[in-house]
Amino acid sequence: MTELPRTQALRCFITVAREGTVSRAAAMLKLTQPAVSLQLKALEESTGLLLFNRTPSGFTLTEAGAALLPLAHRAVAAASDFKAMADSLNEAQRGTLRVGTILDPEFTRLGPFVRSLAMSSQRTEVFLRHGVSDDVLAQVGRGELDVGYYVDATPPEQLHQSFTERTIADGRYQLAPLLSYHYRVIAPIGWRDRVIGKGWAELAELPWLATPPHSGHRRLLDDIFRPLGALPKRVGYTDQEEAMIDFVESGLCLALARDSVLAPRMARPHQFVVSDKVKLSCDLSFACLAARRQEPVIAHAFAAVRAVWNIKPAIAGAGATRTRKVAKNV
């Protein structure tokens, strides 16, 4: 005998010895009778021993078969223990990651990110929760999410720098910028004279579309308008970016819109005008609690999201070396 018998052959041997016939053994093992017979034949050929006496009434063990049967039980049990331990170790290596998502999956490259985690050697299991930017960050802060996407205004000092990780909220959160992009101000096409050439102070006097209180849109605009003395009047409400353009085209109000959302609309007839004087430069970032940044599953997630966005880690310290560019149409 040159090699150990296969576990399936040993199971067939044990079951036929217990049941007394190939037909009953096949039913117990959920195999065909020829398949069981072939396993027994292969086992006898590999051992060079006759294991069963074949009689009209069934199968009985030979002396050699009776001697090998207890060892077959032990071998099958050992194989089962081996598989159970391997499965347990494999499960222990599987991490879980709770991710807060915002905007649309194409814009955040969510699909490639999740696939990257699922197919990596760590086989991270991902749980997604969709929301708005500030709510996602708050859930990260409370430990309800491990990581999340976040939108904020690009700091002036980093407009032309690399995608270096930074902290916000007095060092509480760590952000890894992934993409810089613009929000534009759009207005009904009949309001051209009211928005072209106008600054934020003049636009604050016009009615605006409201978005959820904890959305990036609301926070970005409030941060601009509060220093001017008052928040603008808001005359409509939506939490869908595509619907914002529809509101504006109806002639009711102003709104913010991403370049990537505007571009397809501007390629065909439309009923809105884009302000030529103001815009908001923003970062789409990947966020976690700064205190948890080096936890294995979170560090792995940051590495995966950087790879999806083709952002190379810096040689020294956490950060990146890709030149910061503004996306015109993602």
* Residue range 49-93, pLDDT digits in tens: 999 999 888 999 999 999 999 999 988 888 887 877 666 555 545
Instruction: Tell me the residue type at 192.
Output: R
Contact 134, 217 (CB under 8 A): no
Q: How many other C-beta atoms can be found within 10 angstroms of the C-beta atom of residue 210?
A: 21
For domain 7-92, is the CATH number 2.60.40.60? no
Place of tokens 């960050």: 137
* Contacts (Cβ under 8 Å, ≥6 apart) of 84: none
pLDDT in tens, the chain (330 residues): 556 678 899 999 999 999 999 999 999 999 999 999 999 999 988 889 999 999 888 999 999 999 999 999 988 888 887 877 666 555 545 578 999 999 999 999 999 999 999 888 777 889 999 999 999 999 999 999 999 999 999 988 766 566 789 999 999 999 999 999 999 999 999 999 999 999 999 999 999 999 998 899 899 999 999 999 889 999 988 888 888 999 999 999 999 999 998 999 888 999 999 999 999 999 999 999 999 999 989 999 999 999 999 987 653 344 444 555 555 444
Domain ranges of the chain: 7-92, 94-330
Residue 136: CB partners within 8 Å, gap ≥ 6?
Answer: 100, 101, 102, 129, 145, 148, 149, 150, 287
Q: Is 53 helix (H, G, I), strand (E, B) or coil?
A: strand
The reported pLDDT for the residue numbered 319 is: 43
- 206, 254 in Cβ contact below 8 A? yes
Residue with token string 């015109």: 328
Question: Which H helix or E strand runs over 71?
Answer: helix 63-93
d(CA 273, CA 186): 6
DSSP characters over 161-216: SB---EEETTTTEEEEEEEEEEEEEEEEGGGHHHHTT--HHHHTTS-EEE--TTSH
Amino acid at 130: H
pLDDT at 321: 46
Q: 147-153 and 272-289 as β-strands: parallel, antiparallel, unpaired?
A: antiparallel
What pLDDT shows up at residue 317? 41
Per the CB < 8 A criterion, the answer to whether 152 and 268 are in contact is no
Rounded CA-CA distance 59/11 in Å is 15
Tally of helices (H runs) and strands (E runs) in the chain = 13, 12
In contact, 68 and 16? CB cutoff 8 Å:
no
Does the domain at 94-330 match CATH 3.40.190.290? Answer given as: yes
Residues 178 and 184 sit within 8 Å (Cβ to Cβ): no
* H or E stretch at 147: strand 147-153
**Residue closest to 288 by CA, chosen among 170, 168, 179, 180:** 168
